[in-house]
Structure 1
Amino acid sequence: MFSIDLYDIGLLLAGLIIFIASLLPGLVSEKRLITVPIFYMGLGVLVFILPWAPLLPDLVDDVAWLKRVAELGVILSLTSAGLKLNSPFAWASWRISWRLLVLTMPLTVAASAWLGWWAAGLLPASAILLGAVISPTDPVLAGDVEVRAPDEPQGPKTRLVLNTEAGIHNEPERSKTRLALTTEAGINDSLAFPFTNLAIAVALVGLAPSGWVAGWLAVDVFYKLTVGAVIGASCGYLIAKIILSKFMTAMTGVLALSLTLVPYGFAELASSYGFIAVFVAACVFRHYERNHQYQQLVHDFAEQTVRVLVAVLMFFVGAYGSSGALNMMTPGMWGVALAIVFLIRPLTSMLALVGSDLSRKQRWAISFFGIRGIGSVYYLAYGLFHVDFPDARALWSIVLAVIIISIVIHGISAPSVMKRLDLGR
């Protein structure tokens, strides 16, 4: 009569996490050390250190579910980010972010891969996968260091912001930093795909470029990026043209899901990158009629859904971290994780921003707050889902360590840093 089903336990946990997710943002003060993601991770730790806690699915053998949950979190966050951009295709929105995309991201991949091979002892293919999965900044946890919601005033005089989930707040400033970093986070979640596929190719055919370089450049770089962007632009335009009319009404939640899932589905069916399709679709939708009432409503639904997925995923980050996933970390692996957070992102970003019109404080803040999170979980799960990497468990250990360090350090340090960074003076 009182038999316990793990499925029922899972439903109960999910319900409690969602309930907490609905309440917590209003309860956590920006001045407190415990930020929202840190709370969820701590909750996962507390639940799974109990002796009667259920066994977690294996991160290597049962990786498919984690891939799907993280995938949904990323694409919804990309929709939310795209809907915030008032001028998504203006040069002013992109000129700083292009520096980060063209220089910081490849340098991060290369430096992290080299460290993973040299210091952590990873095999070459695994080292490349490590560089790929930690290269994008996270559009879920950091709020993309992003612009405000669609109904709030935006413009050229705006200031660097990190979402309150990461502990940093919004303020006006004579800068286009927010626009640049929103577009960077939106695009670099797509640009990580070619590097991830490169690691998969090396794992399958070896390091020799003759075995993969032509196909990788033609298909994984050119075709998939181009087709994904075209499909996203087409879907975003058609959805906006149909819905954003005085003759049409729609349920905003359904509309937000459609704006996310339709371009993603078409792009995946065309064997291109769904992530870039979703972000471009949201940008085009936003650009079509910026003052329409649906803009804010659709954004709010996407944002609320993302908060729920963040709660679930951060809970499991804490759960896996306390259930032995970090036990195999060696001093070299800890060194790699710390270097990724405190050296590689800051140095490569500062290098990319040399010669920009940003102040030294702005460059430092952008370079330091390159938060890693759910995007890295997805890409690692994606890589391990397609190929058996011998170093899979070591990869999970390093990536989880990077995520935990990033969320804790950036979340705790952000309020005090922002007090000192009075960029408006």
Structure 2
Amino acid sequence: MTSDLVFLLGGAVLLVAVALPSLLTRAWLSAPVILIVVGALVGLLPVGSQFAFDPTNQRETIEHVTEFTVLVALMGVGLALDRPLSWRNRASWRTWKATWTLLGIAMPLTIAGVFLLGWWGLGLGAAQALLLGAVLSPTDPVLASDVQVAGPATRHRGEDERDEDGDDVLAEELGEDEIVDDDEVRFALTSEAGLNDALAFPFVYAAIFLATLGPVTAWGWRWLAWDLVGRIVIGLVVGLAVGWLLAHVAFRSRRQVLRLAEQGEALLALAAMLLAYGVAEVAQGYGFLAVFVCAMTIRSQARRHEFHEHMHGVIERLERVLTLVVLLFVGIALTDGALEDLDWRGVLVGVALVAVVRPVSGWVALAVGRWRLADEAHRPLAGRERAITAFFGIRGVGTLYYLAYALSEASWTGERWLWSTCVFTVVLSVVVHGVLVTPVMTRLERDRERLSARP
């Protein structure tokens, strides 16, 4: 009887997850907020005990589920970005200016802010405070769909896709530069979320080394050369190589049977994701970075081909299911003791991060280096746009993954407190940002339309 109820409950919740995106198009609540509330209600039911979990005893399960969820989200983000980034084109790098400043300035400032608050302000150990800063630093590619780009802009067959002889032509021969991605807020938040999950890893390792190897002098140079630089380079190279190889086969193979783009075999996206991650991890590089770079490399080939839309659709549906699972369990955990070890220090960390540390760090980063961009479509962020971009740095599944990973690599004092603090911060971010995102983005888009309509 209990198993029947579980199936019934699972079907009902899945139906809610499928219907939520269209139902909440103009609502003041985002889908993640509703899913957490539903999970909390499930936890209060008698059958909810069937889904109860202990983060300290089921750390490995949490680590793998959240790891795969982040991987799927990173693949989707890489395929969704329309804006080109070419190693040989300096102008394309300038169009990513907001991304580089968020990664190079806002993220380190966020880590430093949380670290100082924990170590100097709350009396935490240096390793514990650094771990807290590292796991809370990345913005989330999973829960930030409401402030991200919608998906790849493509051209379908029949839309001027044939040459004078009637043969199909690849998208770059149609003028891929015609794709215009002029929403700087959504682009900045999407690209930041795609890259900073991987860039949080060196600082997680630094916290682990501080807890296990002692003072920085014992491991600092090795961390700088290998964990901060070497493994990032490996992740980049693997992502580029796997993405180029698979894209070449899918779009340009001499054997028609291997041109998967023509066959519409969208599961190539999953194969690419797993292959890039596996190769990078075996090579000791950062797999998260390799997956994102692989997705962007595939996207750069035949940029306007409809195959990108098909691949993104497969990834998006899988991401939705995984997000449903993770958020439901987070909600169930809320009513099953996940916050039992939360105290005023954890509340202060969460509130300070969401309300002060991230917004200030983001604002400072986006105000620095007002480069002259390549064209008028990709202009610098205006004042209100900078404020919105700085504020909507949503925390989510990546935080849970990094914490589970770090806790499995070393022994930490206050392990349950760390879990309670991070779960509280994630839920706080989801609720605050989820409530504000629709009215704020709607107002921003309305103001843009008004300005563009002026003579």
Assess same fold via TM > 0.5.
Answer: yes
Mapping of 1:358-377 within 5 angstroms? 358-377=381-400
Counterpart code for 1:377: L
1:158 to 182, 188, 195: 182
Mapping of 1:250-329 within 5 angstroms? 250=263, 252-329=265-342
Task: Measure the CA separation in 1 of the matches of 2:21 and 2:83.
Answer: 28
1:196 to 181, 195, 204: 204
- By how many angstroms is 1:186 displaced? 1.1
2:433 to 403, 410, 418: 410
The root-mean-square deviation of aligned C-alpha atoms, in Å, is: 2.2
Instruction: Answer yes or no: is the 8 Å Cα contact 2:5–2:47 preserved in 1.
Output: no
Taking structure 1 as reference, are residues 257 and 10 closer, same or farther at Cα in structure 2, changes over 3 Å only? farther
1:353 is paired with a residue of what secondary structure? helix
| Structure index of larger Rg | 2
Task: Measure the CA separation in 2 of the matches of 1:53 and 1:15.
Answer: 15
1:49 to 44, 49, 61: 44
Mapping of 1:226-245 within 5 angstroms? 226-245=233-252
**Cα deviations by residue, 1:184-233 (Å, 9 ceiling, x for unpaired):** 21110110000111111111012x11111022112211111000110010
Taking structure 1 as reference, are residues 269 and 309 closer, same or farther at Cα in structure 2, changes over 3 Å only? same
Normalising by structure 2, we get a TM-score of: 0.83
Query: Match of 2:116?
Result: 114
Instruction: Answer yes or no: is the 8 Å Cα contact 2:154–2:304 preserved in 1.
Output: no
Total equivalences in the alignment? 403
Query: Match of 1:34?
Result: 29
**Cα deviations by residue, 1:127-161 (Å, 9 ceiling, x for unpaired):** 111101111111011138333311369855622xx
Taking structure 1 as reference, are residues 52 and 284 closer, same or farther at Cα in structure 2, changes over 3 Å only? closer
Query: Match of 1:69?
Result: 65
2:367 to 354, 357, 360: 354
Taking structure 1 as reference, are residues 126 and 233 closer, same or farther at Cα in structure 2, changes over 3 Å only? same
Out of 244-253 and 378-387, give the one that drifted further. Answer: 244-253
Query: Match of 1:168?
Result: none
Query: Match of 2:227?
Result: 220
Task: Measure the CA separation in 2 of the matches of 1:53 and 1:224.
Answer: 42
1:181 aligns with 2:189: yes
Out of 259-268 and 89-98, give the one that drifted further. Answer: 89-98
Query: Match of 1:400?
Result: 423
Structure 2 segments unaligned to the other structure (5+ residues): 86-91, 156-177, 371-379
Task: Measure the CA separation in 2 of the matches of 1:280 and 1:37.
Answer: 27
Structure 1 segments unaligned to the other structure (5+ residues): 160-175
Out of 371-380 and 147-156, give the one that drifted further. Answer: 147-156
1:24 to 20, 23, 29: 20
Instruction: Answer yes or no: is the 8 Å Cα contact 2:53–2:333 preserved in 1.
Output: no
**Cα deviations by residue, 1:270-289 (Å, 9 ceiling, x for unpaired):** 11110000000000000011
Taking structure 1 as reference, are residues 62 and 157 closer, same or farther at Cα in structure 2, changes over 3 Å only? closer
- By how many angstroms is 1:122 displaced? 2.9
Counterpart code for 1:141: L
Task: Measure the CA separation in 2 of the matches of 1:119 and 1:325.
Answer: 24
- By how many angstroms is 1:253 displaced? 4.3
Taking structure 1 as reference, are residues 144 and 234 closer, same or farther at Cα in structure 2, changes over 3 Å only? farther
Task: Measure the CA separation in 2 of the matches of 1:223 and 1:347.
Answer: 30
Normalising by structure 1, we get a TM-score of: 0.89
Task: Measure the CA separation in 2 of the matches of 1:301 and 1:98.
Answer: 29
Taking structure 1 as reference, are residues 14 and 64 closer, same or farther at Cα in structure 2, changes over 3 Å only? farther
Counterpart code for 2:339: L
